With several copies, the nearest count.
Chain A
Amino acid sequence: MADRVRRSEEREQSAAVPGQDPPGTRTGYLPNGPDERRQMLEAVGAASIDDLFATVPEQLRHLRLDLPAPLAEQDLVTELERLAARNRPLGSLDSFLGAGVYRRYVPAIVRATVARPEFYTAYTPYQAEASQGTLQSIFEFQSMICELTGLDVANASLYDGATAAAEAVMLAVAHTGRDRVLAAADLNPEVLSVIRTFGGGRRVEVITSGDIRAATSQHACVVVAQPGFLGTVTDGAAAVEAAHAAGALAICCIDPFASALLASPGEQGFDVAVGDGQPLGIPPSFGGPHLGFMAVRQPLMRRIPGRLVGMARDHAGRRAYTLTLQAREQHIRRERATSNICTNHALMALAATVYMARMGAGGMRRVAEVSIRRAHHLAERLTRLEGFSLVEPDRPFLWEFALRVPGGADRFAAAMREAGILAGLPLGRIDAGRSDQLLVCCTETTAPAAIDSYVRAAERWAAGSRVAASQGAAR
């Protein structure tokens, strides 16, 4: 009897993938079976699937691709879990890595929200009437970014903090008609090089300087980071003063948690604030997708790149949200648009919105505080060890600090890694002159026990390098 069933299954076989497929099974995510396909081909008057591609020159078709066999969902899981298992998640280590990407606690409701098909399977909210959910959440995001940065207008998101900074520079170039950019030397190096690549096309010259007061009337903008790449607090007011004195725009690359605690960019007088919203409920994910945000002062509103959502009324007088001021955008303005951005990072903006609404300004501040306390505590204990010192002992820092370690930062980090500790980013990778330095980060997810482990392991290292040093001396 089973055989009778089997035979009738063979009908389903017709369009299946050749090979060892059992009859009737379907590959991938195609709803139509052989019956539907036959009916549709007949309807459109095509003798075969091949007929549909008649306008494609014959010589281009009939590929023989070297691709692996299709996988059942269960096998796909096995395969991807195998790859995932070849990575060591931060949660399985004691991690002190930061440098622009942070392991912060992601509340359950944030994860659950971005997993909802109502949000993740929706498109850019072109049809406002059927997209109020996305639109309102973006409006809330814009409002929160304005609150956080102290500025007037924020857009619906950009790709990441680095491209956001580059877009800000392009905005300044367009706004001022100038083609030089003065960037603080302690910008995140990833951010700086993206600004350079963006600037390159339009022949914008990017100069870095330790002295941000060097701004002149040739500069479109001054770009500083809060905190700087090495975790230290920047004197934003001074940068603003210098920029404005030169008629340039003042741009601040800000960490959102810094903005929750410190005087905001708006308060300090910046014209533009950009940053990466990854710490706001978005996992590190090996560097992406993260979240670029940008906020500007009112007069720059029409120069802002990307989507903007506005609050309006529907014809029945109800509150409604809609994409607005689209005349800045590529689909209307084409080559004269303020940017080429189309697809942005809306789902990440949703994550950040839910994160901020859950934590509130108060909760975010306390996250910043606990991170600061832990980092300072760790720094204090480490710098008591022989050979360990702060690179910038005189500048206040937040939750990251540059640490000078004995025996080479790369070797130190490797030894720590043996002990299950990601001790920080060896700065020699970025700047050969800093090969004895490590950028160390604490957050609210850095367990106090991990701090103890770090100190103990560093003690062992210090002892070892003392021995090595004395042996070296003896030799």
Chain B
Amino acid sequence: MTPTPPGWAGEEPLVFELGRDYLGGPREVASGVPEPPLGELLAGVALRSVPAAIPALPEPVLARHIGRLARRNHHLHHGIYPLGSCTMKYNPVIDEQLASLSGFADIHPDQPVDDVQGALQLMWELERILTELTGMARFTLQPAAGAHGEWTGLRMIQAYHAAGGDTRRTRVIIPDSAHGTNPASASLAGLEVVTVRSTRDGTMDVTDLRSRIDTSVAAVMLTNPNTLGVFEKDILEIAEVAHQAGSLLYYDGANLNALVGIARPADMGFDVVHLNLHKTFSTPHGGGGPGSGPVGVAAGLTDFLPVPTVERDGEHFRLDHDRPRSIGKVRAHYGNFGMLVRAYAYLRAYGSAISRVAEDAVLNARYLEWRLRDLFPTAVGPQCMHEFVVTTRGTRVPGLRALDVGKRLLDHGVYAPTVYFPTTVPEALMFEPTETESKRSLDQLADILAGIVAEAERDLSLLQSSPHDTPIERVDEVEAARHPLLRWLPEA
């Protein structure tokens, strides 16, 4: 490989190396008012002794810095992003433009309700659509992400049991294949985690569940389809088991893309549901967030929703803060409203055709799984929903590792699938193409993977040292963790 030129892919300095002007800055507005010395206005107040070492970069310098950083990112407008469990679907451009309308972006949460009727109506209508899609009685739109929703839901479940005088329920049952946020959220809510095994077909082991459930269990938490991309076929039985033990059933909606418009969590017996609008309803991931994780509840739990709720009186919308059984506030204000606008726009674009999303998501996954059938063994058989897990164990190439396949994909302008998750599958590669990839794109990915396996058969080291054509090669992670360098230092 020729050395990476500074131009197309070379190192980019830090903001701190591009300027040292900690005192200047862009031209500022005139105050337009009398200007007594600041010391008079802030008598006795301790001011900074030295300015923060944050340089003011002239716009041309900053713009180029941003332009060069932008080019160092894989993103959806560049190539497929088949990260399993993450639902990296296309984010409609119009939704970005709509969310930035001043009527949405430039409104304050403390404005009089008459000033924000459109915002409240949007939230009210979005809540109605989400209830229709899930069968739940009501939703809170407040949680900022899936994990936040999980914790909010668990807090409501705690409140529900407590309100029934049942204070012994301190445990949550979670399958071994669950996403890490499930146990972490339980723990943050002060609940203890009980893990239930999966069967060989990847679904929850109902026998194991029966053996572990008792009156100490506040909730059973499930993802459906689960993180292996398999529909929990025994879901109705699981619901019965949970409910009979007095437990509630919690739905981690991260995988709703497989079922949206096809089947509803409420009908499966779920009592509490969180949705990831940044997955199923296409609000962008933003390099890590923001997301939005609304939580829906069955009729018996609506009293516990966080305050405020959005209510409609005829043609008028209002916020209801006066809910005495509420778990309280889970964040400031009313939710990631900008994300709600995007999700609402997305849902209105599909409207009654929303099931087409799930249909194509599943068809795409099933097709890609089929295309890869001779390359990698699947974890649990070939009947996936919107995503599937394969393993590099047992392929034609001994020593082939999931990580190396993922890294080599980067050289082809394809992001790696989720690797080593779920943790129940060794050397897992978890593919979720989503419905917004074309057949052409899936065929391309399958061809690239076939090429990689063939290449690995010839020379595994090429994979092991990959990627080669990305802005950087593999990072020395061990050293990074051993001597963490987490910030620029002025004197460094």
Contact = CB atoms under 8 A, between A and B. Distances in A.
Is the A/B pair a real complex? yes
B332 A27 contact: no
Contact of B184 (A26, A286, A337): A337
Contacts of A193: 328-329
Contacts of A333: 180, 184
B484 A61 contact: no
Interface in B403-422: 406-407, 410, 415-416, 418, 421
A431 interface: no
Interface string A1-12: 111010011001
B431 interface: no
Interface residues of B, number: 216
Interface in A66-105: 66-77, 79-93, 95, 97, 99-101, 103, 105
B287 A124 contact: yes
Given A85-B103, A359-B26, 6 more contacts: A92-B102, A109-B59, A201-B188, A201-B190, A290-B332, A425-B110
A457 interface: no
The 7 closest A-B pairs by CB, nearest first: A360-B56, A363-B25, A287-B333, A84-B103, A347-B286, A86-B118, A448-B32
A136 B347 CA distance: 34
Contact of B106 (A27, A65, A284, A376): A284
Contacts of A422: 108, 111-112
8 contacts: A5-B50, A29-B349, A70-B348, A191-B332, A262-B47, A331-B180, A357-B15, A374-B32
A39 B65 CA distance: 24
Interface string B263-298: 110011000000010100010111111110100000
Interface stretch (A214-222, A307-315, A462-470): A307-315
Nearest to A119: B287
A211 interface: no
A244 interface: no
Nearest to A60: B263
Among B350, B406, B475, the most chain A Cβ lie within 10 Å of the Cβ of: B475
B25 A27 contact: no
B188 A347 contact: no
B57 A343 contact: no
Contacts of B57: 357-358, 360
Contact of A334 (B184, B371, B473): B184
Given A28-B356, A288-B336, A131 B73 contact: yes
B427 interface: no
Contact of B475 (A142, A322, A413): A322
Interface residues of A, number: 230
Contact of B477 (A66, A67, A322): A322
Contacts of B410: 127, 129-130
A407 to B, nearest CB: 17
A163 B144 contact: yes
Interface string B415-439: 1101001000000000000011111
A154 B147 CA distance: 21
B245 interface: no
A316 B10 CA distance: 12
Interface string B362-400: 111011011100000000000101000000000000000
A177 interface: no
A318 B415 contact: no
Interface string B1-45: 000100000011011100101111111111111110111011111
A276 B48 contact: no
Nearest to B66: A113
A288 B335 contact: yes
A212 interface: no
A289 interface: yes
A150 B51 CA distance: 10
A116 B70 contact: yes
A160 B144 contact: yes
A32 B480 CA distance: 35
Interface string A205-244: 0000000000000000000000000000100110000000
A120 B285 CA distance: 6
B148 interface: yes
Interface in A334-391: 334-337, 339-348, 350, 353-354, 356-367, 369-370, 372-374, 376-377
Contacts of B193: 334-335
Contacts of B355: 63, 65
Contacts of B344: 80
B244 interface: no
Interface in A113-137: 113-134, 136-137
A465 B481 CA distance: 66
B119 interface: yes
Contacts of B4: 318
Contacts of B331: 159-160, 162-163, 194, 288
A358 B472 contact: no
A25 B27 contact: yes
Given A140-B14, A261-B47, A340 B187 contact: yes
Contacts of A284: 105-109
Contact of B28 (A22, A133, A264, A310): A22
B28 A100 contact: no
A310 B329 CA distance: 33
A108 B93 contact: yes
Contacts of A67: 129, 132-133, 347, 351-352, 354
Contacts of B183: 330, 334-335
Contact of B180 (A32, A37, A70, A330): A330
A117 B96 CA distance: 10
Interface in A164-190: 170, 188, 190
Given A133-B70, A361-B53, A194 B111 contact: no
Contact of B339 (A9, A112, A233, A289): A289
B409 to A, nearest CB: 9
A135 to B, nearest CB: 9
A87 B118 contact: yes
Contacts of A49: 359, 363
Contacts of B264: 60, 63
B486 A310 contact: yes
Contacts of A105: 29
B188 A170 contact: yes
Given A286-B104, A289-B339, A370-B28, A203 B48 contact: no
